[in-house]
Amino acid sequence: MATRNADGTWKLDMEQVENNFRYDLKQKGGKAKLREEMQALRVAVYTMIGGGMLGEFAVNQPKDFYIDARVSKRPYKNRSICQAVAVLALYFKVLKYTHENVPRMPHFHNCGLF
């Protein structure tokens, strides 16, 4: 499912990831499990990016996400962020979500993050 690149980073086989999601979806309680995992990943991606408008864009429209060169430094490397957003886009695809029908992000009032 994942292979190590020459620079030590990991590259996911996105086709295999999608197949795993589709398999999980067919299992009893699979849709609820995938939704829960997707929400957790959304929080992680938002945090990886450092929040803000770019974070909102990534967690609500992962298929269209890109990092503009004018964006300031983020807490994680672009490669890691883009890979996490690509996995999030697969969750959206498998669960048939769009930016119009995706569940709201969890609300963490006064945590200094959201």
Using one digit for the tens of pLDDT, what is the confidence trace for 63-81?
999 988 777 778 888 888 9
More confident position, 34 or 72: 34
- What long-range pairs does 93-102 form, CB within 8 A, spacing at least 24? 93/18, 93/63, 94/18, 94/21, 94/22, 94/25, 94/34, 95/25, 95/31, 95/34, 95/35, 95/38, 97/38, 99/60, 99/61, 102/60
Domain containing 25 equals 2-95
| Residue 27 counted as domain residue | yes
Let me know if residue 37 belongs to a domain.
yes
Q: Three-state DSSP class for 76?
A: coil
Provide the domain count of the chain. Answer: 1
Q: Kindly state whether residue 44 falls inside one of the protein's structural domains.
A: yes
d(CA 45, CA 84): 7
Beta bridge partners of 44: none
Residue 106 lies in a domain: no
% of the chain beyond a pLDDT of 70: 91
Better pLDDT: 9 or 78: 78
Q: Is 86 helix (H, G, I), strand (E, B) or coil?
A: helix
Q: Is residue 69 situated within a structural domain?
A: yes
Q: How far is CA 76 from the centre of its chain?
A: 14
Average pLDDT over residues 86-95: 96
Residue 100 resides in a domain: no
- Provide the pLDDT for residue 81: 92
- State yes or no: pLDDT of 94 exceeds 90: yes
Q: Is residue 72 part of a domain?
A: yes
Q: Say if residue 110's pLDDT is above 80.
A: no
